[in-house]
Amino acid sequence: MELLLLILLMPLPVFGVRANDPIAGPWQTKEEARNLECTRLGQSRAHELHPDQVPAPPPRGASGVTDALSCTQRFMRYGERPDRDEVILSSLSQTVGEITQVASALGSGELTWHVDAFYPGPAVAAKISVTARTQLAERGLKVSDRVPVLAAGDIAVLGRMPPSKAYPLACARYFAQGVLEERDAFLGLMIVDARETQLHAGLCMRGEWRWLR
């Protein structure tokens, strides 16, 4: 089930008027509110994805809808996921926002952005990737759905190396094999240590890897 929360900004002195706010209240319990997963979208992207529910951006200087939250019910209720997944997903939008802000500042010129997430759980990895692609697109960048893939032999070698060496080498191989070209940028998001709950990220451009977090 998908819901859409619109955040409306009105002229003063009315502040932050909201419709269908997904917080606990008369219409839903705190537990029900916590079992929503929401992604913040700018009005342009929200209108593109939900044209029947979100109006087109108004002329510059006009007031109206400026932001939206696209919310879905969790497949697993709060407390049923592994602790690490809960920690990662609970702050995913903010964490990925910080990463994409740094990455986009480093990528100069007309680039095509590719994203992949390296995470033990495929469902969580997919959420991380989608969030990063969406936020890069919100920054006006050209984003591809294509994920760069190396040959099986490269993957076997990289799998035996520590992350600190594997990711820079993978970046070099992407460029050497023509998987990524001069106008491509690859943003990787990953868990470096299985015991940690921090999401790391690195940027690959022109065969050079740079850790962002």
- pLDDT at residue 43 is higher than 80: no
- The type of residue at 30 is K
Beta bridge partners of 166: none
- pLDDT at residue 40 is higher than 80: no
Q: What value does the mean pLDDT of the chain take?
A: 79
- pLDDT at residue 1 is higher than 50: no
- Looking at the chain, the whole-number percentage of residues with pLDDT higher than 70 is 72
How many CB atoms neighbour CB 160 within 10 A?
7
- The type of residue at 173 is R
Pick the CATH number of 83-211 from 3.40.109, 1.10.760, 3.40.50, 3.90.550: 3.40.50
**Strand-strand pairing, 142-143 and 184-190:** unpaired
Can you read off the two tokens belonging to residue 92? Answer: 């995913």
- pLDDT at residue 45 is higher than 60: yes
- pLDDT at residue 21 is higher than 90: no
- pLDDT at residue 36 is higher than 80: no
Give the start-to-end residue ranges of the domains of the chain: 2-73, 83-211
What does the H/E/C string look like for 46-109? HHHHCCCCCCCCCCCCCCEEEEEEEEEECCCCCCCCCHHHHHHHHCHHHHHHHHHHHHHHHCCC
- pLDDT at residue 118 is higher than 90: yes
pLDDT 10s digits, 58-100: 776 555 556 677 676 655 555 566 778 888 888 898 999 999 9
Out of 71-80, 102-111, 185-194, which region has the weakest mean confidence (pLDDT)?
71-80
Distances from the Cα of 118 to the Cα of 25, 56, 95, 115, 192, angstroms: 37, 35, 15, 10, 9
Could you tell me if 147 and 179 are in contact, meaning their C-beta atoms sit under 8 angstroms apart? no
What was the pLDDT predicted at 6? Answer: 47
What was the pLDDT predicted at 167? Answer: 95
What was the pLDDT predicted at 2? Answer: 44
Can you read off the two tokens belonging to residue 206? Answer: 């022109």
Query: What's the pLDDT band for 35 if we cut at 50, 70, 90?
Result: low
